[in-house]
Amino acid sequence: MAQHNDFTQGAIVPKLLKFMLPILGALILQAMYGAVDILIVGWFGTTAGISGVSTGSSIVNLVTFTITGLSMGITVLMAQYFGEKQEERVGRLVGSAIFLFCIIAVVLAVVMLTFARPLAILLQAPEEALDLTVLYVRICGGGILFIIAYNLISSISRGLGDSNMPLVFVGIACVVNIVGDLLFVAVLHWNVAGAALATVMAQAVSVILSVIIIYRRKQPFVMKWEYIRFSPEIGNFVRVGAPIAFQEILTQLSFLALCAFINRLGLDASSGYGVANKIVNFVMLVPGALMQSMASFVAQNVGAGQEARARRAAFTGMFIGGSIGIVIALLAFFRGDLLAMVFSSDAAVIARAAEYLRGFAPEAVVTAILFSFIGYFNGHQKTLFVMLQGLAQTFIVRLPMSYIMSIRPGASLTMIGLAAPCATVFGIVLNLTYFIILNRKTAQNAE
């Protein structure tokens, strides 16, 4: 690998930030990419359209985050292969991943096109927004191949220690999506259908251009057509990525359940939560960037046998993310209404969005700590534990608390939003306990 991609030597903070900042930039653009749909529909569409995009994108996010979780296995293995100086295995790993993800894309397209309406009904989409939700899911389902391809390409780039190319890819998608939304929604008034079409078109353009860019650049591994087949490498990265993917499935299902709880409270609550959820995506950017960069950083050092450096990187990430999170949490708590005004001019929708953000705000701080732990464990291939602690958070704290708060008389979105940071604090306790146990075992083995 090139020297600047080697995380096993040099000062941790500059190396981590240099790798993390492009990932953060890509996540910011990706959040903008998703937020633009709500923003343009909120200003040029209808309130029912906001609810339709919100509920429909929750279903699409279930697919997207599951694929991201599975592809994390590719990122971790590639980083470890480079840390162990086994570059010859990387090409076979990439070919196997392409083979498997193509099959997954076909299956998911059929499922989303066929079951869009039952899923929308299951999520209790408001009657006024039901057909719009179904339309959004079906259009995105038809273009799911491009969504999956983007996530696969990004995971491969991060595994190579290159966080700049995913930034380029999502930047392209963001620009195309904004242009598409303005054309289809603001000019042609296609409402939700226009937002969904812009999303698919943006992903398609991004993937096509990224493939051209990758083809023309020299890569630090050999890739052959015969590598695109079933091979033992599939089992290797699935073993690492499947627990993360399964956790993402259940986590996103919990968010779908939360969406259903709030949808029962009426159209204003549903639309307000949809707006708040787009703001939440921005709140979670720094923790998300930490988790993705930490997995690659730690994996290389684990492959090189540098456990102490891997631990220092994890605590460095917690400090950086927590410090930034305090500022973001204060903004979300005290001025959530200003943030919501960006997405809607409806006073009732703005008020409900700000109400939810007041409860959710502490999540900006505690998730930075939790995600640094998760990135550390992913880098160690301890993804089964990551899955189990995620399930514990979801089913012991987040879902029960959200449901109980949603059925109380005069249900408060603030108390529903508070379920997220409460679950995260519970997760930190679990992760800290396992961190201590794991490092004690490592020390004993070293002796």
**pLDDT score of 3:** 38
Q: Is 302 within a domain?
A: yes
Closest by Cα among 152, 147, 141 to 204: 147
When pLDDT is averaged across residues 153-176 and rounded to a whole number, the result is 79
DSSP 81: H
For residue 218, give its domain range.
11-441
DSSP 381: T
Length of the chain: 447
Tens digits of per-residue pLDDT, 204-245? 998 888 888 777 777 767 777 788 888 888 888 888 888 878
Q: List b or e across 177-215, with b for residues whose CB sees 16 or more CB atoms inside 10 angstroms.
A: bbebbbbbbeeeebbbbbbbbbbbbbbbbbbeebeeeee
Average pLDDT of the chain is: 83
Q: Is 191 within a domain?
A: yes
Q: Outline where 45-142 has alpha helix (H).
A: 47-83, 88-122, 130-142
When pLDDT is averaged across residues 118-147 and rounded to a whole number, the result is 87
Q: Is 318 within a domain?
A: yes
Q: Kindly indicate the confidence band of residue 1, based on its pLDDT and cuts at 50, 70 and 90.
A: very low
When pLDDT is averaged across residues 12-20 and rounded to a whole number, the result is 84
Q: Is 446 within a domain?
A: no
**pLDDT score of 2:** 40
Q: Is 5 within a domain?
A: no
Which of 120-129, 321-330, 397-406 shows the lowest mean pLDDT across its residues? 120-129
- Please report the sign of the dihedral spanned by the C-alpha atoms of residue 127, residue 129, residue 131, residue 134: negative
C-beta atoms surrounding 358 within 10 Å? 20
C-beta atoms surrounding 308 within 10 Å? 10
When pLDDT is averaged across residues 384-393 and rounded to a whole number, the result is 87
**pLDDT score of 11:** 83
Q: d(Cα 377, Cα 446) in Å, to the nearest integer? A: 19
Which of 1-5, 264-268, 415-419 shows the lowest mean pLDDT across its residues? 1-5
Closest by Cα among 84, 261, 85, 68 to 156: 68
C-beta atoms surrounding 381 within 10 Å? 19
**pLDDT score of 4:** 41
When pLDDT is averaged across residues 341-358 and rounded to a whole number, the result is 83
**pLDDT score of 369:** 92
Which amino acid is present at 275?
A: V
Q: Kindly indicate the confidence band of residue 20, based on its pLDDT and cuts at 50, 70 and 90.
A: confident
How many percent of the chain have pLDDT more than 90?
A: 14
Q: Please give the angle made by the CA atoms of 320, 282 and 172, to the nearest 5 degrees.
A: 105
Tens digits of per-residue pLDDT, 171-202? 888 889 889 989 998 898 898 899 899 989 98
Q: Is 159 within a domain?
A: yes
Q: d(Cα 354, Cα 333) in Å, to the nearest integer? A: 8
Q: d(Cα 188, Cα 192) in Å, to the nearest integer? A: 12
Q: Six-digit token pair at 426? A: 């519970």
**pLDDT score of 18:** 83
CB 120 within 8 A of CB 128: no
Q: Is 24 within a domain?
A: yes
**pLDDT score of 103:** 93
CB 367 within 8 A of CB 290: no
DSSP-assigned states of every residue in 323-368: HHHHHHHHHHHH-HHHHHHTT---HHHHHHHHHHHHHHTTHHHHHH
Q: Is 3 within a domain?
A: no
The residue among 260 and 389 whose pLDDT is bigger is 389
If one counts the domains in the chain, the total is: 1
- Please report the sign of the dihedral spanned by the C-alpha atoms of residue 193, residue 195, residue 199, residue 204: positive
